[in-house]
Amino acid sequence: MQDTTADRTVLRGDCDNCFGLCCVALPFARSADFALDKPAGKACPNLGGDHRCGIHARLRQQGFTGCTVYDCFGAGQKVSQVTFGGQDWRTAASGEHARRMFDVFPVVRQLHELLWYLTEALALPVARPLHADLRRALERTEELTLLPPDELTALDVPAHRQDVNVLLLKTSELARAGIRGRKKERRGADLMGARLKGADLRGANLRGACLIAADLTGADLRGADLIGADLRDTDLTDADLTGAFFLTQPQLNAARGSAGTRLPESVTRPGHWTAGV
Ligand code: SF4
């Protein structure tokens, strides 16, 4: 099997090779994140005929912050170019082609998110005892992404996610065991708006924690497990996330931070952190 996941860049959205799927397939509701309502399967009015966003450089100013947070983990180009062989939904002979494409996209997006986690787990040297199992899970997940459209839409993704999650939990335990000191257990904790400025959260388990608008300025999050943590509006200014794992780009994009925030290598500093918007 071709190893398409060794390079993590294939697990990031590549809009040049996508038919604007996230801007059509997904629904959004008028809110602080989106300036208008849009049902699933209907193209956003800002989407151009070239599948590019007409307001890309002004998304935040025009009330589309949600679009700057989102990433498809590379599912858009996979569905556009592989699953549907480069056949554009706009020029397809029947509307059925478009409908199937829009149904498949969220499924592949979930699988690609799992590929992201598995790839990250395989990059952790302390997870070496699990590498064989992780590699098998990664190959199986990659195989699933290559199924034909009808099989993808019938796939039991939650069951597969559960299998993968068992491995990710074991990976987390191994990774955090290597961090010195007492590790905080905050799995699923409601820490919305919590004042955690300068907190010692080294090796903490923050799986699924709600950290919306929490103050984590200057906090030490080295080696913390952040899988599924809700970081919307979390203030990470000058926090240290070196070695934090299972942190995705969409999570980070939703947070606030600064040039002084230290990040793991797997993610990039969101442009809005330093642009002041
Ligand atoms: S505003 Fe732009 S990025 Fe957001 S959904 Fe519409 S076209 Fe896509």
| Ligand 1 and 53: CB distance under 6 A | yes
pLDDT digits 0-9 by tens, 200-228: 999 999 999 999 999 999 999 999 999 99
Residue 6, pLDDT score: 52
Atom 4 of ligand 1, residue of closest alpha carbon: 67
Task: Output the CA 113–ligand 1 centroid distance in Å.
Answer: 21
Q: How far apart are CA 43 and CA 250, in angstroms?
A: 22
pLDDT at 43 over 90: yes
Q: How confident is the model at residue 181 (pLDDT cuts 50, 70, 90)?
A: confident
Q: Chain-wide mean pLDDT for the chain?
A: 94
Task: Give the closest residue (by CA) to ligand 1 atom 5.
Answer: 23
pLDDT 10s digits, 155-166: 999 999 999 999
Q: What is the pLDDT of residue 3?
A: 43
Q: Residue 112: pLDDT above 80?
A: yes
Burial of 200 (0-12, 13-18, 19+ CB in 10 A): middle
Give the percent of the chain with pLDDT over 70. 97
Mean pLDDT of the region 134-147: 98
Q: How does DSSP assign 68-130, residue by residue?
A: HH---TTHHHIIIIIITTT--TTT-SSHHHHHHHHHHHHHHHHHHHHHHHHHHHHT-GGGGGG
* Structure token pair of residue 95: 């509307």
Measured CA to CA, the distance from residue 124 to residue 176 in angstroms comes to: 11
Q: pTM score > 0.85 for this model?
A: yes
State how far the Cα of 62 lies from the Cα of 74, in Å rounded to an integer. Answer: 26
pLDDT tens column, 69-104: 999 999 999 999 999 999 999 988 778 899 999 999
pLDDT tens for 246-255 read: 999 999 999 9
Helix (H, G, I), strand (E, B) or coil at 271: helix
Residue 276 has a pLDDT of 60
- 241 versus 266: which is more confidently predicted? 241
Name which residue sits closest to atom 2 of ligand 1, judged by CA: 53
Mean pLDDT on 9-35: 94
Pocket test for ligand 1, best of 55, 70, 72, 105 (most atoms within 8 A of CB): 55
Cα of 23 from ligand 1 centre, angstroms = 5
The whole-number pLDDT of residue 277 equals 58
Q: What is the pLDDT of residue 7?
A: 67
Q: Average pLDDT of 2-17?
A: 74
- Residue of 19, 23, 56 to mutate, ligand 1, most atoms within 8 A of C-beta: 23
**The pLDDT value given to residue 4:** 41
The closest-lying atom of ligand 1 relative to the alpha carbon of residue 45 is: 6
- Cβ 210 vs Cβ 226: under 8 Å: no
